[in-house]
């Protein structure tokens, strides 16, 4: 491990007013994204779409890092430039998703666990050679009356910590992503209870594995009611519940908390991030974003799989990034959605 390398990557990733674009959808997820616009999820279509996103002029004003799917590390833009190289040229840090998907956790009915630790160190060495400077690993926690179980919480925390330790050994900054899912009828209090338990377990495990907290990024869910919950929560209530849980669970040594959007609509995720920064401007960590669909959805709808839509696609992404940049400062307002 080279601590100076990790520190430099954190410095480059954690920038005031900027966030991280998650463009690391697996092939099945890309197929789901492309289906509504009638585009086949071939390798070439995935390359063309992601190349458009990553070559957006001005993106680095609001985006400091991009999480790539592993195939994207080896792809190039239309002019033959490697996509990670394009990001570096813009001053954006390339990273890569390194987990291998999830499946049932034996002994914990209803809980899931993520695969991919076998051979991780060797894969990270290859990703580094291809330009990656950070990595991301996601564990998910469904909420039900009995889930997540104590075993589910502990097993997933252990996986995240082992992954983070391997990353730092290989001089890559780990993004640690424990996602408490929005699916279900649970209310905001139940989400807060589960999220706090999950984060406590994650940081205990990170401590056991000697992970350097100053050289990692946390990517958690916001504390939200479930999608099928009958009671609504305001952005201010979401911000208050989320920050309360973070204060109880996340050490101040962590430099940045980059929220996932987790199924929120683009405008909704921006409003909630803004409330966080407007109501709580003096927290010890950056309160930032690492959005996938919530940044990309307008761009995908503008693209429609047609090369002639390239400029409007990039404009849609840049607008969403700019609005989230304002939310990072607590300066967003819904009226800004109408601006070009």
H helices present in the chain, as ranges: 3-13, 27-34, 43-54, 83-90, 120-129, 150-169, 188-208, 235-249, 266-279, 293-303, 310-328
Where the chain has pLDDT below 70, the residues are 1
List 18, 97, 219, 319, catalytic entry: 219
Domain count, the chain: 1
Answer yes or no: are the C-beta atoms of 146 and 194 closer than 8 Å: no
CA distance 83 to 80: 9
List 139, 158, 170, 177, catalytic entry: 177
The four Cα atoms 319, 254, 117, 54 give a dihedral, to 10 degrees, of 20
Q: What secondary structure letter does DSSP report for 48?
A: H
| Concatenated DSSP letters of 168-230 | HHTT-EEEEEEEE---SS--HHHHHHHHHHHHHHHHHHHHHTT--GGG-EE-PPP----TT-S
Tokens of 253: 């040594």
How many other C-beta atoms are found inside a 10 Å radius of the C-beta of residue 254?
20
Domain that holds residue 210: 3-338
Q: How far is CA 114 from the centre of its chain?
A: 16
CA distance 5 to 168: 10
219 a catalytic residue: yes
Longest distance between any two alpha carbons in the chain, whole Å: 53
CA distance 10 to 3: 11
What is the H or E stretch that residue 257 is in?
A: strand 256-259
Residue carrying the six token digits 């974003």 = 289
Cis peptide before 273 (omega within 30 of 0): no
Q: Is the Cα torsion angle 313, 276, 285, 330 positive or negative in sign? A: positive
pLDDT at position 2:
86
pLDDT at position 1:
58
CATH of the domain at 163: 3.20.20.70
Answer yes or no: are the C-beta atoms of 272 and 236 closer than 8 Å: no
308 a catalytic residue: no
């Amino acid at each position: 491990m080279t601590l100076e390398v990790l520190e430099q990557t954190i410095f480059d990733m954690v920038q005031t007013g900027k966030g991280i674009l998650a463009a690391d959808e697996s092939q099945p997820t890309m197929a789901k994204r492309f289906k509504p616009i009638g585009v086949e999820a071939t390798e070439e279509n995935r390359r063309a779409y992601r190349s458009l996103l990553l070559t957006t002029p001005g993106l680095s004003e609001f985006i400091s890092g991009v999480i790539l799917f592993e195939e994207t590390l080896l792809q190039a833009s239309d002019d033959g430039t490697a996509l990670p190289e394009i990001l570096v040229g813009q001053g954006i840090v390339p990273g890569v998703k390194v987990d291998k998907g999830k499946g049932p956790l034996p002994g914990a009915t209803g809980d899931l666990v993520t695969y991919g630790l076998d051979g991780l160190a060797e894969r990270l060495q290859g990703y580094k050679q291809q330009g990656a400077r950070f990595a991301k690993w996601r564990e998910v926690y469904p909420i039900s009356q009995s889930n997540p179980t104590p075993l589910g919480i502990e097993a997933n925390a252990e996986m995240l910590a082992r992954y983070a330790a391997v990353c730092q050994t290989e001089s890559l900054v780990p993004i640690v992503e424990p996602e408490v899912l929005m699916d279900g009828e649970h209310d905001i209090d139940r989400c807060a209870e589960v999220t706090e338990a999950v984060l406590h377990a994650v940081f205990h495990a990170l401590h056991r594995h000697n992970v350097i907290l100053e050289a990692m990024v946390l990517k958690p869910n916001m504390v939200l009611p479930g999608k099928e919950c009958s009671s609504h929560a305001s952005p201010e209530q979401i911000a208050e519940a989320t920050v309360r849980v973070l204060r109880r669970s996340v050490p101040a040594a962590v430099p940045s908390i980059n929220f996932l959007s987790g199924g929120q609509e683009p405008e909704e995720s921006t409003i909630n991030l803004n409330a966080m920064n407007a109501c709580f401007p003096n927290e010890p960590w950056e309160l930032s974003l690492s959005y996938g669909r919530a940044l990309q959805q307008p761009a995908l709808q503008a693209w429609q799989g047609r090369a002639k839509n390239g400029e409007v696609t990039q404009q849609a992404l840049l607008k969403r990034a700019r609005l989230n940049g304002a939310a990072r400062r607590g300066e967003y307002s819904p009226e800004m959605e109408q601006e070009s």
